[in-house]
Structure 1
Amino acid sequence: MREELQRITELMDTSQLEQAQQQLIHLIEQQADCAQLHYLLGQTYYRQQQWGKAINAFNEVLALEPNHPDAQSQIDMANSILGYFTPDMFNP
């Protein structure tokens, strides 16, 4: 699995996010209890601004590994983006 993760990381580094997602989803089907796979999948969604899917993936990470060092901060950042509101945009 180490080589597969390295290939996925290379895809992510070169912004080939859809290909990385496909490979991650395939691996998750085989190893659904691997928090690292869910975290990487969340990262691909986050980079594509698919906030809901990213949050779901990061929540899955926390379900598998409650003390994951980065998953909660990623959820908080996505929620912050979703909750961004500027009243000046609506009051000319």
Structure 2
Amino acid sequence: MENIEIENSLKVIEDLLKTEKAEQARKLFEELEEQNSVRYFLLKGKIEQKYQNWGEAINAFSRVLDMEPGNTEAINNLHLIKNILNFWNPDLLNP
């Protein structure tokens, strides 16, 4: 796939995610070759996050931070996942 095709595919995937068409986004994403880019791993993280694949999402967002340490989108998503995984409701333990 050429760079222009890849960029177009990434844009389509972003648009699908924004319009809550995660299944279509995931299928299209799986057809792409892995790219060593911030945009690619941000999308991978968002897709994995949608499907609650927390480990995969964390790995993808961490890759983004390896490439671009100040990336606020990756930082915010990692923070969100961490809060979800650390959520604790004491009322659930005291029936």
Q: TM-score, normalised by structure 2?
A: 0.77
Determine the structure 2 residue equivalent to 1:15: 20
Determine the structure 1 residue equivalent to 2:54: 51
Query: What is the SS of the residue equivalent to 1:70?
Result: helix
CA deviations on 1:53-77 (whole Å, 9 max, x unpaired) are 1111101111121121210111111
Distance 1:6 1:62 in 2: 21
Matched, 1:68 2:71: yes
Find 2:85's aligned residue among 82, 86, 89: 82
Name stretches of at least 5 consecutive residues in structure 1 with no aligned partner: none
Q: TM-score, normalised by structure 1?
A: 0.79
Q: CA RMSD in A?
A: 1.9
Name stretches of at least 5 consecutive residues in structure 2 with no aligned partner: 1-5
Distance 1:13 1:69 in 2: 18
Total equivalences in the alignment: 90
